[in-house]
Structure 1
Amino acid sequence: LPQLLIRNGLFPAAPFQPCIVVSVELLAFYRALFERSCDAINALASALHTHYN
């Protein structure tokens, strides 16, 4: 199952019977924010707030 999820752009939170997945694109977005920000959590929250408002 994890290989199928990854092939479809989702990263499982657990190796066996994952019930939570995260988009690989979201992980890449978070990494880009982390590389450019000292406080990546606040940067992510601000970016999402700006995007959805």
Structure 2
Amino acid sequence: LPQLLLHSGLFPTSPSQPRIAVSVDLLGFYRALFQCSCDSVNALASALKSHYERRGFWMIT
């Protein structure tokens, strides 16, 4: 399954039984953001949270 995800442009979050995958393009965007911002992790997390909340998905912690 991980190889199939990679061929589809997705990076698995687990090597054996991934339940979530991240777009390789998003990882490239994160890298560019990291190079420009010292707070890139917080900026990306906040942007993704807002993005998904607007679409009706809520983070449960």
Q: Quickly name the TM-score band, shorter chain normalised.
A: 0.7 to 0.9
Q: What RMSD in Å do the two structures reach over aligned CA positions?
A: 1.9
Q: Which has the higher contact order (CA 8 A, sep 6+)?
A: 1
The number of residue pairs the alignment matches comes to: 49
Counterpart code for 2:21: V
Identify unmatched segments of 5+ residues in structure 1: none
TM-score (normalised: structure 2): 0.67
Q: Aligned to 1:15, what secondary structure does the other structure show?
A: coil
Identical pairs, percent:
62
| Residues in 1 aligned to 2:32 and 2:43: alpha-carbon distance in whole angstroms | 10
Question: Cα offset for 1:17?
Answer: 1.1
Question: Cα offset for 1:6?
Answer: 0.3
| Residues in 2 aligned to 1:18 and 1:43: alpha-carbon distance in whole angstroms | 25
Aligned position for 2:28: 28
Structure 1 runs (4+) greater than 4 angstroms displaced: none
Counterpart code for 1:7: H
Aligned position for 1:15: 15
Higher helix share: 1
Identify unmatched segments of 5+ residues in structure 2: 55-61
